[in-house]
Amino acid sequence: MNGEDNCINIECLKLVNSNFQKFLDIHSTNYHIELKKSLEEIGLFFDLDRIYIYYFSKDPTFMQIECQWNRKEVRPKREFNEEEVVYALPWLIRKIKNSNDVVINSINEIPDEAVSEIEAFSKEGVKSFLIIPLKSENKLIGFIGYESLLKSIVWKEGQIRILGDISKAFSHTKARIEKEKVYEKDINGQSILLNNSESQIWALSNVTSYATANEAHAKFFGKTKSDLEYQDLYDIFDIDTANKLSKSNWELFQKGEPAEKELEIKNFKGENRLLKIKSRPQRDDKGNIQYLICTANDITEQRLAEKELYKAKEQAEAANTAKSRFLANMSHEIRTPMNGIFGFLELLQATNLSLEQKEFIREAKSASEILLHIINDILDFSKIEAKKLTMEKIKFNLRNSIEDAVSLLAPKAAEKNLELYTMINPNVPEEVIGDPSRLRQVLNNLISNAVKFTSKGEISVKVDCLKEENKIAFLNFEVKDTGIGIRKEHINTIFKSFSQADASTTRKYGGTGLGLAISSELVKMMGGKIQVESIVGEGSTFKFDVKLKIVKGASVQKFDFEKLRGMNVLVVDDNDNNRKIVVSYLQETGLMVFEAKNAAAAITTIISKANTKNKINTAIIDYQMTDMSAYELATTLKTMPFAKDVKLILLASVNQKGETKSSKEYGFSCYLGKPVKRDDLLNCIAMVLGLKKEDEEKCEVVTKHIVREVKNELKPKILLVEDNVMNRKIVINILKLHDMTCDVAVNGSEALKAVSEKDYDVVFMDCQMPVMDGYECTAKIRILEGDKKHTTIIAMTANAMEGDSEKCIEAGMDAYISKPINFDTMFKMIEANTKKRELVPDYNKIIDDNIDCFVETTGLEKADAREILEEYTRCLPDLLADINRAIDDKDFDKLAGVTHELKGSSGTLRIMSIHELAIKLEAAAFKHEEDECGRLFAEIKALFY
């Protein structure tokens, strides 16, 4: 390097130094002015004519002059500062991109290939130029051009290096300023957010000191942001506010983790406002809390609104409770007189009436039943509306429940000559947990609709278990009819409340339109859905599914099927479905089952199998068949040598009353009502084949009436606890109609006394009574009995709202009958609870009942009279046994003789009850009236129990 270079260098170093220093921390606002000054300084220093800096745009195919300087007499590089296309100077740009300085001492040095550049620079009259690439972090961001127009320059190496160094100061500064701009933009953005936020935001450096706060927080206290920043609470606020804030801050700091609290504090207007504060600690590297960042929202209005809402909700709930209570009361009020109507109609029916009067009563009863049904529907619907309807979870026999529901409608179906059959798939679990009465209610509704809307054909009820999962049975029910069907457009609406397929149907068929709406809700509550498929004129199929818990290890069979193995049964029925059902029930058991479609086929089958191992033991015969009636078939069979020993079972519709008696005359061993219940059928077969004794419990199947007679002989001991005279009268009289009596208590306290003195089979307990109500009375009875005894107590109440049955059960009662009383249910309960006690005749009863009359008519001393009567009662058992034997042996002479003896002794002793019956019995014996003799003897026996 020569001296000139050195001299340049010293000056240059100064120039470089001053530029570096200047741009080191230059603020963006001065950047352009200072840059321009620097370019001028450099231009003058190196005796140049023009300097310009280009930076590439965001789109790198464009560039733009950032700053330019030119000597006064020289034109600026560009008149307008606008974007230019990079590839206008392709050769130059290529060079720059390769990080090369472009050093041109004379324009002739530009290579020929740089056509555009030669033209551009020549046009501008540039004689020499130096272009240096500008980089930031190794990335090309632009270039700086140094030009001489007035004279040619030979660019020296030192000069180029110095200009290169200065260029670096420019590019670094540009990069720094760009970054700062972005950062500032960011900061600005955040401060816009912070200061315009509705939420209050602040940071605390300790319990009483702010680090910073946003405008919203400052404004709340009527301050500015700078009033709060780095200040102590006690220096800014009044003592109360400062105390409150520091206490709240202290609590939040204490938590040491994100926390929340509400704080009531005065704002700048002195109004108490409720702030919901959320805090989050910000920790330093060592884990110490550096700041507590807080945000807060004013929830004063929101809280007020919540309070209002709560009040409104409370009011609504109160209204709802009032509605429910009203419903409960109304239901009680309506049910009480309904009980009277039902009861007295029932009693009236048993009196001597003309045919017309009987018909009127039948109509009145049917109208009251409809009314009760409507009341129940409305009540259920209100319960669903008020979300008060709950499902019970009790163990029950599913098959029995389904069969009971179907049986209930069997008389109506039979009245319309409709076949009604049930098909319960063997995979359906026997014992389940759920709400049997609600399940029955749904089935009831669907079946009664099917009966209502079908005039001919059949109704089938099918139940299937789709799958079992975790001890839950997924059951599918199907009720299919061949009735009027439902139009497509009505299918979706019939499940809505009060909706019926159309108005005209309503008028023709009646109904409230609530049944399906209730059923659909009930099914939903049982975990399923109800659906319908229907074709107008062909019929409808309602399907629903429910989920029920299977009872673990429930015993399925009621008796040993093994006993039936090897027996051959013939099912005779012209209705394919009915026959198939009976066959399917039998096939589960190991019985060999044969089918006959008509009487002729039955006869052929019996004869052809007579001398084979498949000899028919039992034939189950449908009452009505096209070719021959069941009675005709039975008569024919009895005349045939091979067939006369076949035991016959009659299948008849429930309303074919009186069949029990005549069926026996035609040689049937047993009669079963349709639709057939599987267990009844099996029990019946076992019984007629002699595999089961008739007097076993299950022989109830033969007919309901026989069962009741048997039970009556057991003389159930009933206590009726009822304060209402009308209700008492009804129950007493209904019991009397069935040859039963009961003791009566008019309140709980009387009942308590009665139960402690006598052993009752069943106590019917009213709930609401003066002195002591039914709940209290039951609870006391349970305490009294302890573990030693358990008297069956059945609530009889007009309350039918949710919780009533629970209340009864909680009080210790065993079951619940709602009023108006369903007497069938009442008798079923009596039957189920009457203990089978050894019937010990009580002859002393005769003495107690007759001694006064005997003393009075004979003038005897009471003690003597007792002795005579005791002697008489000692002889009585033998006398009665003789009469019994004579009746059994049909030995009427002997019967007349012993009865005569009874007549004489009872007459002498003035025991008129026995005496009068003995006279009648003697007369009947003379006339050889076997049935009458049996009946009268039963009456005599009854006097001792």
Can you give the binding site for ligand ADP, defined by CB under 6 A? 445, 449-450, 453, 481, 483-486, 494, 500-501, 505, 511-517, 540
User: Between vectors from CA 838 to CA 834 and to CA 839, what angle results, nearest 5°?
Assistant: 90
What single-letter DSSP state applies at residue 647? Answer: E
Give me the least distance between CB of 441 and ligand ADP, in Å please: 11
CB 540 within 8 A of CB 453: yes
Give me the least distance between CB of 541 and ligand ADP, in Å please: 9
Cβ-count burial of 64 within 10 angstroms (0-12 exposed, 13-18 middle, 19+ buried)? middle
Q: Which is nearer to ligand ADP, 449 or 460 (CB)?
A: 449
3 state DSSP class of 812: coil
CA distances (Å), 589 to each of 680, 687, 693, in order?
13, 15, 19
Give me the least distance between CB of 494 and ligand ADP, in Å please: 4
Round to whole Å and give the CA distance between 186 and 848. 112
What single-letter DSSP state applies at residue 232? Answer: B
Within 13 A of 731's CA, how many CA atoms are on the CB side?
29
Give me the least distance between CB of 372 and ligand ADP, in Å please: 14
- Give me the amino acid identity at 870: E
Short-list 338, 349, 408, CA closest to 374:
338
Q: Which is nearer to ligand ADP, 430 or 481 (CB)?
A: 481
Q: Which is nearer to ligand ADP, 501 or 755 (CB)?
A: 501
Short-list 554, 552, 453, 465, CA closest to 509:
453
Residue whose tokens read 């501008």? 124
Give me the least distance between CB of 729 and ligand ADP, in Å please: 34
281: tokens are 């600690």
Give me the least distance between CB of 546 and ligand ADP, in Å please: 18
CB 670 within 8 A of CB 703: no
Residue whose tokens read 């006869």? 603
**Strand duo 743-745 + 815-818: pairing:** unpaired
Q: Which is nearer to ligand ADP, 142 or 511 (CB)?
A: 511
Give me the least distance between CB of 500 and ligand ADP, in Å please: 3
**Strand duo 592-596 + 568-572: pairing:** parallel
User: Residue with CB nearest ligand ADP?
Assistant: 511
Round to whole Å and give the CA distance between 744 and 267. 76
CA distances (Å), 471 to each of 241, 263, 393, 399, 474, in order?
64, 53, 15, 17, 10
CB 54 within 8 A of CB 93: no
Give me the least distance between CB of 532 and ligand ADP, in Å please: 8
Q: Which is nearer to ligand ADP, 446 or 936 (CB)?
A: 446
Angle between helices 115-124 and 90-97 in degrees, nearest 10: 110
Give me the least distance between CB of 446 and ligand ADP, in Å please: 7
Give me the least distance between CB of 462 and ligand ADP, in Å please: 15
Query: DSSP alpha helices (H): ranges in 588-648?
Result: 599-609, 630-639
- Give me the amino acid identity at 312: A
898: tokens are 């012993």
Give me the least distance between CB of 545 and ligand ADP, in Å please: 18
Q: Which is nearer to ligand ADP, 540 or 805 (CB)?
A: 540
36: tokens are 């321009």
Round to whole Å and give the CA distance between 446 and 635. 40
Give me the least distance between CB of 387 and ligand ADP, in Å please: 20
Number of H helices, E strands in the chain: 32, 28
Q: Which is nearer to ligand ADP, 539 or 774 (CB)?
A: 539
Q: Which is nearer to ligand ADP, 358 or 456 (CB)?
A: 456
